Amino acid sequence: MTINETDIEDCVQSGCLAHNNTFHNVSSQEQHLIQDRLLNYYDREKRTMPWRKPTRIDLDSKALGQRAYEVWVSEIMLQQTQVATVIAYYNRWMEAFPTIQDLANADIEKVNELWTGLGYYSRARRLWEGAQKVCNELDGLLPNNANDLQKHIPGVGRYTAGAVSSIVFNQITPVVDGNVIRVVARLRAIAADPKKANTVELFWEIAGTLVSKECPGDFNQAMMELGARICTPQNPQCESCPLQKNCYAYAQKEIHARLKTEKFWEQKKRKRTIDHECTYCPEIKSKLDDDEDYAVTRYPMKPEKKKPRDEECAVYIVQSESKYLISKRPKTGLLAGLWEFPTLELESLETTYKERSAKAKGYLHERYGFDQEDIKITKRQDLGNVVHLFSHIRKVYHVEWVQVSEEYYGQVEDDEQQMKWVTSEELESCPIPTGLKKALGLLEKSRNKK
């Protein structure tokens, strides 16, 4: 071990993991050991990815700008999405928009089309808006430091700014994402709520202490790689971890096992040697004596998840012969700028088909200009419902198939509202939300039964 075992043993012997704030500190000796071990691991084990290239600060400004664009796109895509999924999307994106100028000149429809299936569609619009700002206001080059990236580029937060500036421009700045939080929480046995502001700052502070001054980009990528492949949420591979000897969580587990073998917990005169004085980690009132209480996976603390709110809507798949009616969603808000079937948000939950069906004609007339005297509904069928989960919403789509006599929509007051009739082939390439693709699946399933 290269850590202070005495402090950790006192912590474990307390029976409630008592400690103070300095317990989470990283000594200068440990900083260098962690950097060396992690960079060696990264040199040996790093995965090949299309956006991952050696840092080259000797490149000219144009070449650095191109690298910054590539890393920026990859980091935005990787938010909430796994590497294996992103690679194919990234390659298609770079083929369509090989430079930031190409993206800035693109039509938002094409941007959304290429993003279809990745989810969190606002990311695509922010990339497009960011590219336009860079090309119109910043001479076509992304800023070369974290502060300016975060300040000037839409959708670039603290993490993305740190990733781009360290990986491309070799700036000594940390990154903190879910993987890094998990690694740091276990390295320093931080049991604080990772969503609280002071805990977030603690993670950034420790990550900033650890980052290599010589190879900040590689070090940051190594931290994320370690969290993704070794220090995983469940079943971490501690025996393969290059930072095992620096890990407080692992040390606590091992010391508890030794004390248990020595029957330390059965000693009647055993006294609690330290009090809990940490202002980050909550005090544990109950005695911890099970092996599970000292598992590495107790870190980081799991905050209570807020239950997503329930919402329901009626989806009308309006078809005329071989074409379907779709319209574009507003430019802002959930699923901004995507195409959808006529969709009516319902004010109450658990509505009946009869109630939803009764609203259809009025809704199609008001929203789509359907003139009930000129257009005839030839068939209607309840297709059931599908559920789609957003990060904060549980959405139920009640789906009805509405066949009409002709391709029609009338004039509406909203000049910006866009509508069109599309074939099945055209529908496949349209940027349509995943939830509504599930709705279309109900129609296909119904047809296959016949």
Each residue's pLDDT tens digit, 296-353: 999 999 887 788 899 999 999 988 888 898 988 887 778 888 899 999 999 888 888 8
Q: Which of 30, 75, 254, 312 is flagged as catalytic?
A: 75
Other beta carbons less than 10 A from residue 414's beta carbon: 8
Q: Do 109 and 195 belong together in one domain?
A: yes
Question: pLDDT value at position 292?
Answer: 84
Q: Please report, for residues 189, 275, 300, 302, the alpha-carbon distance to residue 233 in angstroms, rounded to integers and kept in the order given.
A: 15, 29, 9, 11
Is 443 among the domain residues?
yes
- Written as one letter, the residue type at 216 is P
Residue 145 maps to which CATH number? 1.10.340.30
Question: pLDDT value at position 1?
Answer: 45
Is 406 among the domain residues?
yes
The secondary structure of the chain in percent helix, strand, coil, rounded to multiples of 5, reads 50, 10, 40
Instruction: Count up the domains in the chain and report the number.
Output: 2
Among 184, 210, 237, the domain boundary falls at 237
* Among the ranges given (88-102, 405-419, 432-446), the one the predictor scored with the smallest mean pLDDT: 405-419
Among 189, 222, 237, the domain boundary falls at 237
Question: pLDDT value at position 426?
Answer: 86
Q: Do 29 and 163 belong together in one domain?
A: yes
DSSP H or E stretch at residue 32: helix 28-45
Percent of the chain with pLDDT over 90: 58
Q: Do 21 and 170 belong together in one domain?
A: yes
pLDDT band at 430 (very low <50, low <70, confident <90, very high): confident
Rounded Cα distance between 417 and 429, Å, is 20
Tell me the two tokens of residue 313: 């809507």
CB 128 within 8 A of CB 116: no
Is 279 among the domain residues?
no
CB 232 within 8 A of CB 241: no
Q: Do 222 and 354 belong together in one domain?
A: no
**Chain centre to alpha carbon of residue 369:** 39
**Chain centre to alpha carbon of residue 137:** 29
Question: pLDDT value at position 268?
Answer: 63
Max intra-chain CA distance, the chain: 92
Phi, psi for 315 (deg, rounded to 5)? -110, 125
Name which residue leads in pLDDT, 374 or 388.
Answer: 388
Q: Do 205 and 104 belong together in one domain?
A: yes
Question: pLDDT value at position 37?
Answer: 97
Facing residues of 110 across strands?
none
CB 319 within 8 A of CB 402: yes
Question: pLDDT value at position 409?
Answer: 53
> What is the value of pTM for the model shown?
0.84
Q: Do 61 and 206 belong together in one domain?
A: yes
Rounded Cα distance between 46 and 213, Å, is 20
Tell me the two tokens of residue 444: 């296909």
Among 237, 271, 286, the domain boundary falls at 237
Question: pLDDT value at position 371?
Answer: 66
Question: pLDDT value at position 412?
Answer: 41
- The arithmetic mean of pLDDT across residues 238-261, rounded, is 94
Name which residue leads in pLDDT, 397 or 286.
Answer: 397
Range of the domain at 405: 309-449
Question: pLDDT value at position 244?
Answer: 96
Is 205 among the domain residues?
yes
Is 255 among the domain residues?
no
Tell me the two tokens of residue 166: 């360290």
Percent of the chain with pLDDT over 70: 94
Tell me the two tokens of residue 409: 């929509």
Q: Do 320 and 214 belong together in one domain?
A: no
Check pLDDT > 70 for residue 293.
yes
Q: Do 103 and 219 belong together in one domain?
A: yes
- Is the peptide bond prior to 50 cis by the omega test (within 30 degrees of 0)? no
Check pLDDT > 60 for residue 415.
no
Q: Is the dihedral of CA 131, 133, 139, 142 positive or negative?
A: negative
Q: Please report, for residues 157, 378, 441, 443, the alpha-carbon distance to residue 447 in angstroms, rounded to integers and kept in the order given.
A: 46, 17, 10, 6
- The arithmetic mean of pLDDT across residues 252-268, rounded, is 85
pLDDT band at 287 (very low <50, low <70, confident <90, very high): confident
Residue 352 maps to which CATH number? 3.90.79.10
DSSP string, 309-348: EEEEEEEEEEEETTEEEEEEPPSSSTTTT-EES-EEE-SS
CB 339 within 8 A of CB 115: no
- The arithmetic mean of pLDDT across residues 395-410, rounded, is 79
DSSP H or E stretch at residue 389: strand 377-389
Name which residue leads in pLDDT, 267 or 25.
Answer: 25
- The arithmetic mean of pLDDT across residues 357-385, rounded, is 79
Q: Do 365 and 229 belong together in one domain?
A: no
Say whether 113 is catalytic.
no
Check pLDDT > 60 for residue 2.
no
* Among the ranges given (51-65, 87-101, 179-193, 199-213), the one the predictor scored with the smallest mean pLDDT: 51-65
Tens digit of pLDDT for each residue in 93-131? 999 999 999 999 999 989 998 998 888 888 999 999 999
Question: pLDDT value at position 264?
Answer: 81
Question: pLDDT value at position 407?
Answer: 60
Q: Please return the burial class of 314, using the count of CB atoms within 10 Å of its CB with bins 0-12, 13-18 and 19+.
A: buried
Is 296 among the domain residues?
no
Is 399 among the domain residues?
yes
Helix (H, G, I), strand (E, B) or coil at 218: helix
Q: Do 172 and 86 belong together in one domain?
A: yes
Q: Do 330 and 193 belong together in one domain?
A: no
Q: Do 88 and 189 belong together in one domain?
A: yes
Name which residue leads in pLDDT, 86 or 417.
Answer: 86
pLDDT band at 416 (very low <50, low <70, confident <90, very high): low
pLDDT band at 143 (very low <50, low <70, confident <90, very high): very high
Is 127 among the domain residues?
yes
